[in-house]
Amino acid sequence: MTDPYKTKDSGTRRTFDTGSVRDAATGKGRYDLVSPIALLRVALLYERGAVKYDPRNWEKGQPLTVFLDCAIRHLQKHLAGFRDEDHMAAACWNTMGFIHVEDMVARGLLPAELNDLPCFVTPEEAAAGKYLPPMPTPKPPEHKPRKSMFKVGDKVKVNISCQLTSLHQKIGSIIRRASDVRASWCVLFDDLEDYNLFESSLDKA
């Protein structure tokens, strides 16, 4: 009879004090570290579930959000102080069911629709394992006010070489009126704000 199995070999050995050697255990898990106390409580829940439903009912697949919702609910129940059932074991059971179905979906052994989890991170954030700062929003070009050749207190001569129709212009504390005339004014501006107002009014005219 031909042996269909092969003994895998990582190429790395562990050597014990007795001189015995074995293949490396890295990446194979440490089942000896799993708590037998916690495992018993979860196994008892599996037993109760097998009586309530079919023994392998859950393996048929349920949406991942169902496992997640139930796990969170049982954790919150225990946190609130409820001890009417083993909520911690139930949370563990749902977490294990989540992991099982998620893996089966990823390997194509259960329908992809069972992975109905929302996603609130970008692919880059998922790869980095953290939220990344948002991309900076491009700023609109700054409006740079027209630089004046004058400064506060300068006495300037303003030649209005265009026809102005009913233009009321505030210059300092003085209001002048120009109507269909060519005018040449010599004024003293109180401040740059008044000058800018005067310039913008000329532009509009």
Number of structural domains found in the chain? 2
pLDDT tens across 143-198, in order? 676 665 555 555 554 444 433 433 344 443 333 433 333 344 444 444 555 555 55
pLDDT tens across 31-85, in order? 999 999 999 999 999 999 999 999 999 999 999 999 999 999 999 999 999 999 9
Q: Is residue 3 part of a domain?
A: no
Of 88, 109, 128, at which residue does a domain stop? 128
Q: Is residue 93 part of a domain?
A: yes
Q: Clarify whether residues 43 and 106 are in a common domain.
A: yes
> Which residue range(s) make up the domain with 180?
155-204
Q: Clarify whether residues 124 and 34 are in a common domain.
A: yes
- To which H or E segment does residue 177 belong? strand 174-178
Q: Clarify whether residues 51 and 114 are in a common domain.
A: yes
Q: How many CB atoms lie within 10 A of CB 97?
A: 20
Q: Clarify whether residues 119 and 189 are in a common domain.
A: no
Distance of CA 172 to the CA centre of its chain: 54
Q: Is residue 14 part of a domain?
A: no
Beta strand 167-171 pairing with 174-178: antiparallel
Q: Is residue 197 part of a domain?
A: yes
Q: Is residue 106 part of a domain?
A: yes
Q: Clarify whether residues 43 and 109 are in a common domain.
A: yes
Q: Clarify whether residues 36 and 72 are in a common domain.
A: yes
Residue 9 φ then ψ, to 5°: -140, 120
CB 178 within 8 A of CB 160: yes
Q: Is residue 142 part of a domain?
A: no
Max CA pair span of the chain: 119
